[in-house]
Structure formats: structure tokens, C-alpha cells
Amino acid sequence: MVGVYKLTSSKISGALYLYYDNKSLRSFQSELNKPLTEEQWKYLREKLPLQEDQVTTLEQYNLVVQPIKGKSVQDKVILFCMYYKHYRGTSYAAKTLEKANLKGIPVTEDLLTIFFNSPLQNFTLKNYIDRINITKDHLKNGVPGDKLVTFPAYFDEKFEKTLNQEQTTAYHAHLISLGWAKHYNPNAGNVWHKKADNTR
């Protein structure tokens, strides 16, 4: 589903991050202390694998490739933002205070999956931090039964009408994560459709 990899090398100062969604490369982010030279950037662009199962091929070019573990604050922020993009369909810019409060807060793929599948309206990093004990409890003991809702992989208007406001928000986030988009039709109101995959 979501794969985030950290690239390091003795030839660069800092780290590079690759974000794969459904096994395809979706974004590339640099967190470097010193910019890449034009030659380095051109070389890297030519080598970036478009499919997740090929990411380890970068190791033959003197790059260390590691699935992101969320140990440093920087790694935690990157991991959160990539999951936010997957589940919410848009980018997230972490605030300075949110980053400062991440010390001692675990950020893992399992916790993020629980958090972003929760029937919430607020999916900010601050709310993740504030709710970390609840999220950890749900990961350990399961989500309380009254909150368990299985969302279909398509838009179902009748199903949507059975949901409360928080569940509706979570259902919409679920659809967006699967590549659905909502637009307004003057004759029919809000209409959901599956976006075409424009990956080249």
C-alpha cells in the first residue's frame, strides 16, 4: 500500500526520501544539508526506480536504501506526511511546534494506519500527538466495536446515508486513498468518480 524509503550516501549530506503508493513511485523529497550538484541530480533522476520492487537496485550506485523507521524527528515527519497524502489525497506541511512535540512520540506504519482509519475529522499531526495513547490502545486491543465500519471500495450513496458525520469523513478519506475524487454537478450535486491513473 504505502512504502517510504530513506536514501543516504557518503557523497551526500542529509537524506533523500522515496514515497511509493500501490507499488508505484508517487513523490521524491530531499532533506539535504547541502544541495545536490546538477550532475548528481541528473544522475539520480536517471536511476530512480518507478516500481517499489526495484528500489533496492539503487544500492549498486552507492546509496544505502532503508525502509523508513520513524526514529528521528525528521523521519517521523516524513512518514506522517506521506501517510497523510495517501489517506487524505493532499499534501501536509508540518508546523514547527508539531515537530518540536514529536520527541518521544512513536510514529510507525501500524499506528498511522490506525489513526488515519479512525472516524475523525481532525487528522493533523498535532491531533496524532494528542491521541497517541488512544491510538496505541486501539492498535493493541482493537478499535471499540461501535466504531468499526467496513467501507466499500466504491462510492455508495445509500451506505453513506447510514454514517454519522465522523464516519462520513473517514469514508471520504478511504475513497480518496483508493483514487476516487468528488466534484460538483449542478444537476446531481456532489458526484464521486474514479480518477484515471496518469502515472507515466
**CA gap 70, 66 in Å, rounded:** 11
192 secondary structure, DSSP code: E
In order of 53, 89, 185, the CA distances from 16 in angstroms are 18, 22, 41
Residues 153, 141, single domain; the answer is no
For the stretch 123-157, pLDDT in tens is: 999 999 999 999 998 888 776 654 556 788 888 88
Q: Is residue 199 part of a domain?
A: no
Owning domain of residue 166: 149-194
**CA gap 21, 160 in Å, rounded:** 26
3-class DSSP state of 145: helix
Neighbours of 172 (CB within 10 A): 20
Find how far residue 108's CA is from the centre of its chain: 11
**CA gap 151, 171 in Å, rounded:** 6
Q: Is residue 200 part of a domain?
A: no
Cell output for 56: 533496492
Residue 162 in this model has a pLDDT that exceeds 50 = yes
Please identify, among 67, 97, 118, the residue that sits at the C-terminal boundary of a domain: 67
Residues 78, 60, single domain; the answer is no
Amino acid at 133: N
User: What is the rounded average pLDDT of the residues 185-192?
Assistant: 73
Number of separate domains in the chain: 3
For the stretch 14-60, pLDDT in tens is: 899 999 988 899 888 888 888 888 998 898 889 999 999 999 999 99
Residue 11 in this model has a pLDDT that exceeds 90 = no
Global pTM reads: 0.66
Residues 84, 123, single domain; the answer is yes
Residues 142, 170, single domain; the answer is no
Residue 187 in this model has a pLDDT that exceeds 80 = no
User: Contact at 8 Å (CB) between 68 and 80?
Assistant: no
Q: Is residue 142 part of a domain?
A: yes
Amino acid at 50: L
Please identify, among 67, 91, 109, the residue that sits at the C-terminal boundary of a domain: 67
Q: Is residue 11 part of a domain?
A: yes
10 secondary structure, DSSP code: T
161 secondary structure, DSSP code: T
Please identify, among 67, 83, 101, the residue that sits at the C-terminal boundary of a domain: 67
